[in-house]
Structure 1
Amino acid sequence: MTTDTIRTSDGSDLVQPGLLPELRDRTVDNLWRRAVRSKPEGTFLLWEGNEFTYAEADVEVAKASGMLRDAGVTPGTRVAVLLDNRPEYIWLLLAIGRIGAVGVPIHAEAKGQLLGHFLRSTDCSYGVIASSQAANVESVLGEDLLGYVWILDDVPADEIGTVPRLGRVQEPYAPKDVADDGKDDEHRVPRFSDNYLLMFTSGTSGPSKAAVVSQAQPITHALKIAESCGWNAQERFYTCLPLSHANAQCHTLLPAIGLGATVVLGRRFSVRKFWADVQPFDCTAVSLLGSMLQLLWKKAPSPEESDNRVSTVLVVPFPRNVQEFDDRYQARFATLYGLTECAPVSISRPGEGYDRPAGMAGRILRDHNDVRIVDADDIEVPLGTVGEIAVRRHDPYITVQRYYGRERETWDDFRNLWFHTGDFGYVDEDDVLYFVGRKSDSLRRRGENVSIRELEEVLQSFTGVLEAAVIAVPSDLGDMSEDDIAVYFTSEDGTQLTAEQLDLLAEAELSRYMRPRYIRHVDDLPKTPTSKIRKDVLRRDAEVNLTQFFDAETRRQI
């Protein structure tokens, strides 16, 4: 271990051993047992009036491990987990790590084709499924049952009726006390390099890919963040993001375990109740998606948002007006750059980088990875020049190993021995990384390159606009190198903003080449289970429903 001087969330310096264990010791069970040994009576989890110490939680992990092992789960066995946020989800993630099995976390709101894709593309033979999700699973499985299924009752039986058969063997989720969960069996001790999770990428531009994640990868991700943010054992981490998502796992759950701190778990994100959920538990650190922060910003201030102990907000991407957020919420903001495949690549300390240009994603972690900005031929571009962000780790097994069943995509993304992120960015003279946008999220109009992310930020700043999603549509000029701009938008509660009114706002605020041509108001935007907008769905809709848009050039509905 190394010794670092870091700044804690209350602003004081703290000298402590580096949180990251040696690489070969980075297994989920090693990290968990270290926390249990050091703070057995410390509070680990708070959830809806329930409190678990580390010792009490360890009993639950042992019971879950025993249940899985008794059913035949062994190292490498794939186990789907389809639950809402609840303590059992955490016990299962830790038990799967203890056994050396492979967890397949699936968002609890997944349904239809997306749910079928998650289950079929990962060849799961075991599953822990909420009773509220059983009908959705049955609709996509048909007669192709899983091998072994546990049903966890999460709603009263009279609300859902009879639970359908989803597995050839099906039992209630009811782990029993065990005298020995196999912890001393040397053949069952996982290694840092073993596969641990199949984590789905967001799938905003097409079908999600299952990233094969080793035991060492999420631990490295989590504890590099904890070190950079200066978090300590007194933190209370709040998350309402789904535990199927890397954010909840690596920005909240695993940092808390690594520090021996406390997790406060919410069921789901609510704009109206967010600060009311955070305030009573004296939470000190929260991690948010950028879209969540913008929605909170648009909500009228509440007493809870100013009367709380939150001192650090980790948010991706960094908001443009971050100082205003700091002033309103009285918390220091930090950000990072990373993906499911590898994170963090760069990170800022809380309170740093407020005066830097838009897209700031923190200083590159040069002790952790190499970063290059490359052109279309994979040749490195000069400092300050925009290109694709490519990453190569210093240590093995802390980057995604491959995409499960998707060899071609694996080779494409790891060509020339660098992981190609698919993101545009640049590096400045201070070695700070800037995110510019997705390669697939830019367009060219009237001879000018348009950043879709930048355009969406401007549109969302307009009064009355809740969310805006911009896509490229073919130009009717017949020039294949040119695009037209289409935007879908939703309105804030209590407003009646029309497509024509949005066009007038855009005309007043935007350069002509950035002004959307096609504008459509919708009640909701299609999203992934992690709340990212499904641009692939919007593109398909625009192909067949362009007549439902307002045309800014003709000033009328098409």
Structure 2
Amino acid sequence: MRGPRFRRTRPSVRALRSTSGRNVMHHVKLSDPADRTVDRILRAQAEMVGDDEFLVEENTRHTYAAVDDLADRHASGYAELGIGAGDTVALLMHNSVDMAVTSFGVNRLGAVWSAISPEYRGEWLGELLNSVGSPVLVLDDELWSSVAALPVIPFRHLVIRGSSQQARSEAPAGVAVHDFDDLARGHAIRHDSKAYYGDTNAILWTSGTTGRSKGVMQSHNVWITYAQRHNEIYRDGVREGERFYGCIPMYNSGGWIMNVYPALLTGVPACIDKRFSVSDYWNRLRYFDAHHTILLGTMPLYLAQQPACDDDTENPLRTACINPLPRNLPEFMARFGLERVGSGFGQSEIMGATLYSSDWPLKPGSSGFVRDDDPVETRLLDADDNEVGENEVGEICVRPRAPFAIFNGYFNEPEKTIEAFRNLWYHTGDLARRDADGELFFADRKKDSLRHKGRNINSFEVEHIARQFPGVTDVAAVGVTLTEMDHEEELRICLLLGDGATVDRLEFCKFMDAKAPYYFVPRYVDVLDAFPLTPTGKVQKFKIRERGIDAATWDRLEHAADWSPTR
């Protein structure tokens, strides 16, 4: 049910003027590093535009003043649970205004929030929750069953958003259960964080190159630097009356850097939806009257494949960050009435190694420009960390030009951090070439991963789960490139079976679904007689990719169309 639409607002002639002369919002001063923390910016906005809306969802609208007050109350609640500066708080939550509010409360104590994907379950969920090292887990009530199924619950406190009745009756001895709503009813004590702008304020989890996910430590300043940068390049400024909209997962950096934080810097609303809906996407934008958003992975492809409507251009969206760019970008922009599109190469570790705006010339296949005024320096290096020549392929490597312009390292993994920062360059694990105009062209992935629905999926992790299926002796997970998008792949799992063993492909997919996130469930399953190997016994995955799919390949969308993975 759509509900009432938000009143359509148009940029006002009273909007503040930027140095470029364009109508933009710019409420907070950020020249002093002491002011460049998210909790201080929230405090400043509450004092200047306190009655203006900030965090908005279907049935909730919080002003800047209300969020500032709630942040203090949540901070008091976490302090009573023993959280202090530098401590971590784990968040296992779906997208919500409450998730954003409580992140500000954690940061107001100088503590660190860590968002875990609610799609994780089983072994993967248990290992990540344990890795956060927090005494407190905040979770949605519908996710309690995933936590309850773990052999060990590594927390002293559970804060349940929704009904806590089941958790109270099932939680093991020594684990206290609290209601999330009680945080909002806590003491409204003013908490003034002593956080430094380079301090870590969040940990986001991403796949490593050869093993488990690593915790990417983000500083206050990284969020602020790139929120500013994106507002300038991707949006040509944010105008009075405009709104941001986000529906990508908030355990992903994009859920914050493309919605909550750029809105915070400019004193405008950030609208939050629980998830992406291809059939209702434009209605959601109309409902929220949203002007800026982000589309990742196959989202623009799915939108473009929807039947054209006479009112496609009748939506409020002015700009979008789209990554990767669709091949038919001009047609996409014209169909949906977009004024500007931004893109570029980035990771959780680096929010932008290249940038692109649709009013710049761009060659087909380009990943954007390396610019002299970027917050980071980007070069292509060979295996010995020497810069490669023009149009030669090298690894994308980055180092900051300004303090705290990239991530602070991997949480509790100093050896992985040192490995990634070899010779003072952060090594992305991706290969590219650069032409004479400074445009970067993605070439390949140095690391053994694939790109599926906007995520880098590590094949090691997929294979680890798949090997646990009865009768399976070895596994090779590879990607099948989508015809419509060169940078996106469907997951294909190739199995070797023991003597006499057989496998029901659908039961195998259900096994993967029960043990891992839905995007670990393959579309394609093959049973092979043997894997091609190197002289040293390593699987030659490129040969499996070259072989491609054939008549013997089982396609889940064809043979099990009535079943889909759990989300």
- Aligned residue for 1:364, secondary structure, equals coil
1:273-352 matches, cutoff 5 A: 273-302=280-309, 305-331=312-338, 332-352=340-360
Contact 1:346 1:361 in 2 (8 A): yes
Shift of 1:360: 2.5
Cα distance in 1 for residues equivalent to 2:516 and 2:376: 29
TM superposition shift of 1:357: 2.0
Q: Deviations over 1:266-325 (max 9, x none)?
A: 011111111111112211111110221112122223466422110101011122221121
Once the two structures are aligned, what percentage of the paired residues are identical?
25
Shift of 1:470: 6.5
> Does 1:28 find its partner at 2:28?
no
2:149 alignment partner, SS class: helix
Partners of 2:222 and 2:47 lie apart in 1 by 23
Tell whether the 8 Å contact from 1:18 to 1:227 is kept in structure 2 after alignment: no
Q: Determine if contact 1:287/1:314 at 8 Å carries over to the other structure.
A: yes
1:198 corresponds to: 203
Contact 2:248–2:276 (CA<8 Å) still a contact in 1? yes
1:425 and 1:527 mapped to 2: Cα distance?
37
1:416 corresponds, among 415, 420, 423, to 423
* Equivalent AA in structure 2 for residue 423 of structure 1: D
Q: Does 1:227 align with 2:195?
A: no
Equivalents in 2 of 1:281, 1:38: separation in Å? 23
Cα 1:272–1:530, aligned 2, differ >3 Å: closer, same or farther? farther
> Which segments of 5 or more consecutive residues in structure 1 lack a partner in the other structure?
444-451, 462-466, 475-521
**Is 1:68 paired with 2:112?**
no
For residue 162 of structure 2, the aligned residue among 153, 166, 185 is: 153
Question: Post-superposition shift, 1:16?
Answer: 6.3
1:257 Cα shift? 0.2
Q: For the residues of structure 1 that align with 2:372 and 2:478, how far apart are their CA atoms?
A: 25
Q: CA deviation at 1:346?
A: 2.1
Specify whether residues 47 and 472 from structure 1 end up closer, same or farther in structure 2 by C-alpha distance, changes over 3 A only.
Answer: closer
Cα distance change, pair 198–14 in 1 and its aligned pair in 2 (3 A) = closer
Deviation at 1:211, TM superposition (A): 1.3
Q: Residues 202 and 208 of structure 1 are in contact (CA less than 8 Å); yes or no, is this contact kept in structure 2?
A: yes
Q: Is the CA contact 1:223–1:254 (under 8 Å) kept in the aligned structure 2?
A: no
- Give the match's secondary structure for 2:317: coil
Query: Does the 8 A contact of 1:364 with 1:432 survive in 2?
Result: no
Instruction: State the aligned residue count.
Output: 484
Q: Does 1:557 align with 2:567?
A: no
Confirm whether residue 383 of structure 1 aligns to residue 390 of structure 2.
yes
Q: How do 1:156-235 and structure 2 match up within 5 A?
A: 164-165=170-171, 168-173=175-180, 174-177=182-185, 180-184=188-192, 188-202=193-207, 206-229=211-234, 230-234=236-240, 235=242
Worse-superposed segment, 263-272 or 366-375: 366-375
Check conservation: 2:121, 2:514, Cα contact below 8 A: no
Question: Are residues 255 and 307 of structure 1, via their aligned partners in 2, closer, same or farther at CA, if it must alter by over 3 Å?
Answer: same
Query: C-alpha offsets along residues 24-51 of structure 1, whole Å, 9 cap, x if unaligned?
Result: 4311111211221221111112211322
For residue 352 of structure 1, report the CA deviation from its aligned partner. 3.0
Report the secondary structure of 1:458's partner residue.
Answer: coil
Q: TM-score, normalised by structure 2?
A: 0.75
Question: Are 2:27 and 2:265, in contact at CA under 8 Å, matched by a contact in 1?
Answer: no
Equivalent residue for 2:259? Answer: 252
Flag structure 2 segments of 5+ consecutive residues without an equivalent: 1-16, 451-476, 496-508, 532-543, 554-567
The worse-fitting range, judged by mean Cα deviation, of 285-294 and 162-171 is 162-171
2:499 maps to: none
Matched, 1:269 2:276: yes
Q: State the distance in 2 between where 1:267 and 1:311 align.
A: 22
Distance 2:443 2:146 in 1: 38
Shift of 1:422: 0.8
Q: Does 2:107 align with 1:111?
A: no
| Cα separation, 1, equivalents of 2:547 and 2:40 | 60
How far apart are residue 176 of structure 1 and its match?
4.5
Residue 428 (structure 2) pairs with residue 403 (structure 1)? no
Separation in 2, partners of 1:270, 1:546: 41
Partners of 1:361 and 1:435 within 8 A in 2: no
Separation (CA, whole Å) in 2 of partners of 1:314 and 1:24: 29
Q: Residue type of the partner of 1:215? A: H
1:95 is paired with a residue whose SS is: helix
Give the C-alpha shift of residue 248 in structure 1. Answer: 0.8
Secondary structure of the equivalent of 2:341?
Answer: strand
Match of 2:3 in 1: none
Contact 1:82 1:108 in 2 (8 A): yes
Which residues of 2 match residues 413-492 of structure 1 at below 5 A? 413-440=420-447, 456-458=481-483, 468-469=489-490
Conservation of the 8 A alpha-carbon contact between 1:312 and 1:350: no
CA shift at 1:428, angstroms?
2.6
Distance in 2 between residues matched to 1:552 and 1:425, nearest whole Å: 25
Aligned to 1:37: 47
Q: Is the 8 A contact 1:63 1:178 kept in 2?
A: yes
The one-letter code sitting in structure 2 at the alignment partner of 1:225 is H
Shift of 1:473: 7.8
Whether contact under 8 Å (1:337, 1:362) holds in the other structure is no
Distance 1:36 1:435, change over 3 A: farther
- TM-score (normalised: structure 1): 0.76
Q: How does 1:111-130 map to 2 (within 5 A)?
A: 111-130=121-140
Partner of 2:156, secondary structure, is: strand
Instruction: Tell me the CA shift for residue 52 of structure 1.
Output: 1.7
| Superposition deviation, residue 435 in structure 1 | 2.9
> 3-state DSSP class of the match of 2:132?
coil
Could you say which residue in structure 1 is the equivalent of 2:501?
Answer: none
Residue type of the partner of 1:214?
A: S
- Indicate how the Cα distance of structure 1 residues 176 and 525 shifts in structure 2: closer, same or farther if over 3 A, else same: closer
Cα distance per residue 1:467-499 (max 9 Å; x no partner): 84277989xxxxxxxxxxxxxxxxxxxxxxxxx
Write the distance in 2 (CA, Å) between the matches of 1:227 and 1:431. 20
Cα gap change, 1:137 to 1:94, in 2 (>3 Å): same
1:73 Cα deviation after fit = 1.0
SS at match of 2:327: coil
Helix, strand or coil: the match of 2:277? coil
Task: Give the Cα–Cα distance (whole angstroms) in 2 for the partners of residues 395 and 126 of structure 1.
Answer: 34
- State the shift of 1:361 in Å: 2.4
| CA deviations over 1:145-197 (Å, ceiling 9, x no partner) | 41122111169x6xx7865316622211112445653425xxx4211122211
Q: Give the equivalent residue in structure 1 for 2:367.
A: 360
Deviation at 1:376, TM superposition (A): 1.6
Aligned in 2, Cα 1:453/1:342: closer, same or farther, shift over 3 Å?
A: farther
Indicate the residue corresponding to 1:464 in structure 2.
none
SS at match of 1:52: strand
Match of 1:88 in 2: 98
Q: Which moved more, 1:342-351 or 1:60-69?
A: 342-351
